[in-house]
Amino acid sequence: MPELPEVETIKNTVKNAFDGAIILRAEVYQPKLRHLMDRDFAAKISGARIEKTERIAKYMLMKLSNGLTIIWHFGMSGKIRIESTRPTILQKHDHVVIETDKGILIYNDTRRFGLVDICPTENLAKNPNLSVLGLDPWDANLDKTYVLKKFKNKKVAVKLALLDQSIICGIGNIYASEILYRALILPQRACESVTADEAERIVKFTREVLSESIAAGGSTIHDYKRPDGDIGYFQEKHCVYNKEGKRCPNCTCRLEKTGGIQKIVQGGRSTFYCPVRQK
């Protein structure tokens, strides 16, 4: 599910609700997520204060007063739900419940591709999930020079490179298509064919698309929901994602001639693009 904008939205809601809260107790109902959860998860976090909730790429980090950090990842279907009191009956796929003096946090993940790990805060940089991440979209070091360096001699399609978290982190399948649409670049182009101007556009529109989506509370596709129960609204701004056969919003072309937005499969995942605007 969540790409960077959705995780940012989740993080902001969780931060507002829980930073400063004391963890009273925790329950793990299904430890088999992407990794098997720490068997002492509940004991290790109980009694600690939630000092600070942050986001890195698609990960949410909850720094605790006891020197530990909870690392959350939401995979395809992970969600956080906030309740004021502990529900007597949990919902299907509620795997982790954390009770605090400021409310109840529930982690629900239908497909269990997400993860909830614990890491000593001082070792975060060495964590295998985090250490492989490339530049954050707003990192000052992310510029056309960095992109060109990463793309040099690279044969893979530029769409797949945008999904590669070790180059730029946080972009997922929806936004990769939307970014390339705005950047006017065909998704099947080899990375090594990307010019300096195009690399600059990738940086610019990565930031623009993700920023706009964060402002809209993320994209709600299928069942994504924010922790406060609201949905995001950025899907209303999608130009190409899931729009096969539709006219792209910036085209005046005749649908019967161009076929409108095209859908192809790359790396086993759907990509959408406008064959008229994108070169």
Does residue 278 bind DNA (CB under 7 A)? no
217 lines the binding site for DNA (CB under 7 A): no
Q: Which residues in the 99-118 window bind DNA by CB under 7 A?
A: 110-113
Total residues interacting with DNA, rule: CB under 7 A: 43
Q: Tell me: does residue 135 bind DNA (CB under 7 A).
A: no
Segment near DNA (CB under 7 A); pick from 1-9, 10-18, 64-72, 139-147 = 1-9
Residue 88 C-beta: closest distance to DNA, Å: 20
In angstroms, the Cα distances linking 247 to 24, 65, 175 are 53, 52, 18
Residues known to be catalytic: 2-3, 58, 269
247-256 long-range contacts (CB < 8 A, ≥24 apart) are 248/181, 248/274, 248/276, 248/277, 250/274, 250/277, 251/276, 251/277
Is the Cβ of residue 133 or residue 274 nearer to DNA in the bound state? 133
The binder of DNA chosen from 21, 174, 185, 199 (CB under 7 A): 174
Least distance (Å) between residue 168 CB and DNA:
11
Backbone phi and psi for residue 255, each to the nearest 5 degrees, phi listed first: -55, -40
Cβ atoms of 167 and 243 closer than 8 Å? no
User: Residue 36, by phi and psi: left (phi above 0), alpha (psi -120 to 50) or beta?
Assistant: beta
Binders of DNA among residues 238 to 277 (CB under 7 A) are: 267-270
Nearer to DNA, 223 or 230 (CB): 223
Q: How many residues does the chain have?
A: 279
Q: How many CA atoms lie within 13 A of 99 on its CB side?
A: 10
Q: What span, in angstroms and rounded, lies between the C-alpha atoms of 275 and 35?
A: 40
From the CB of 104, what's the least distance to DNA, in Å? 22
Q: Is 34 in the site for DNA (CB under 7 A)?
A: yes
Q: Whose Cβ is closer to DNA: residue 48's or residue 162's? A: 162
Site string for DNA, 57-96 (x = CB under 7 A): xx--------------x-xxx--------------xx---
Task: Answer yes or no whether residue 1 interacts with DNA by CB under 7 A.
Answer: yes
Distance of CA 134 to CAs 77, 122, 163, 272, Å?
23, 20, 11, 24
What b-and-e string marks burial along 11-45, b requiring 16 or more CB atoms within 10 Å of the CB? bbbbbebbeebebeebebeeeebbeebbeebbebb
Residues that bind DNA (CB under 7 A): 1-3, 6, 32, 34, 57-58, 73, 75-77, 92-93, 110-113, 128-129, 132, 154-156, 160, 163, 165, 172-174, 218-224, 232, 235, 267-270
